[in-house]
Amino acid sequence: MKRSFPVVLACVLALCLSFSACTFQFTTTRPPTVTLDSLPAYAESPYVAINDNIPQFDPDDYTTASFETYSRLDALGRCGVAYACIGADLMPTEPRGSIGQVKPSGWQTAKYDFVDGRYLYNRCHLIGYQLSGENANERNLITGTRYLNVQGMLPFENMVADYVKETGHHVLYRVTPVFEGAELVARGVVMEGYSVEDEGEGVCFAVFCYNVQPGVSIDYATGKSALAESDEESHAYILNTNSKKFHDPSCPLTKDIKNANKQTYNGSRENLIRQGYAPCKSCRP
Ligand SMILES: [Zn+2]
């Protein structure tokens, strides 16, 4: 009994896992319903995988003909799902034009010195310009933080763009802004991608990107913002200014840092992360 129980449990678990993997995959044309309750609160990573990183496209949508669709703005002027099959023929051949005339829901102009480019908010393309060439389309632009735009969404856009350019294949691609209640600024976006011709071999992801800016607190109802109240504690750290890692002063790995790249720092770890530093995986400061 003592020995068989774990085995039975393991089998049941394996069955459940294989079953759920099948049922979760591609059961609906609708984008996944993501509630904030079901997501971990933002903590350092600009995005998290959802649904085991499996996009939820309907196999009927597996097409090698490019398309792009954008939702009508809702009664509050908010964007909805943007859905596309990205192919090389959809990609822009001209540099992006001006989009400053579009005022997405919750738009505010706010500047913070520590934000890359100073402006807190960007007009954030749901389907990136490099993918579909959509310029000042109000159905494709949300109020998004610089952090969402660059740290959250851009890596996935680049991945899809590179893949399509290299292979000439197509990527089903869907971006769904997630609003809480009647708030005007999205809490984040769900991004899904799936390469059609090679059945997800090249591109396959489902992630939620947080619409946050470290160091800033955002009122999502209105878009107003303020410097985050500091509950940050100061500590001593050793920085590697080259690898952009920070260590506890006692970490043995600090001995290997070249003097030219070594720096002592006194301050908060949050501030280091804002500056692009990452904690050492060994000493976990
Ligand atoms: Zn370390």
pLDDT tens across 14-53, in order? 433 333 333 333 333 566 778 888 888 898 899 999 999 9
Assess whether pLDDT exceeds 70 at residue 83. yes
Distance 280 CA to ligand 1 centre (A): 4
Distance 250 CA to ligand 1 centre (A): 8
Distance 281 CA to ligand 1 centre (A): 7
Distance 264 CA to ligand 1 centre (A): 13
Distance 227 CA to ligand 1 centre (A): 30
Count other Cβ atoms within 10 Å, centred on residue 267: 14
Burial 166-188 (b: 16+ CB within 10 A, else e): eeebbbbbbbbbbbeeebbbbbb
Please, which pLDDT band fits residue 233 given cuts at 50, 70 and 90?
confident
Mean pLDDT of the chain: 88
Distance 120 CA to ligand 1 centre (A): 32
Distance 248 CA to ligand 1 centre (A): 6
| Structure-block tokens of residue 256 | 């290997």
Q: How many separate helices (H) and strands (E) can be counted in the chain?
A: 5, 14
Alpha carbons 80 and 209: distance in angstroms, whole number = 16
Which of 49-53, 143-147, 265-269 has the lowest average pLDDT?
265-269
Distance 239 CA to ligand 1 centre (A): 9
**Cβ-based neighbours of 230, under 8 Å, separated by 6 or more:** 268
Distance 245 CA to ligand 1 centre (A): 8
Q: What's residue 30's pLDDT?
A: 66
**Cβ-based neighbours of 11, under 8 Å, separated by 6 or more:** none
Distance 232 CA to ligand 1 centre (A): 20
Residue 207 DSSP symbol: E
φ/ψ of 195, rounded to 5, equals -80, 125
Distance 266 CA to ligand 1 centre (A): 16
Distance 209 CA to ligand 1 centre (A): 28
Distance 253 CA to ligand 1 centre (A): 5
Q: Which amino acid, residue 13?
A: L
φ/ψ of 80, rounded to 5, equals -120, -155
Distance 276 CA to ligand 1 centre (A): 16
Nearest to 168 by CA among 95, 59, 86: 86
Q: Are 215 and 227 in contact (CB under 8 A)?
A: yes
Could you tell me what percent of the chain has a pLDDT over 70? Answer: 88
Distance 278 CA to ligand 1 centre (A): 10
- Taking the model in full, what pTM does it have? 0.72
Distance 88 CA to ligand 1 centre (A): 44
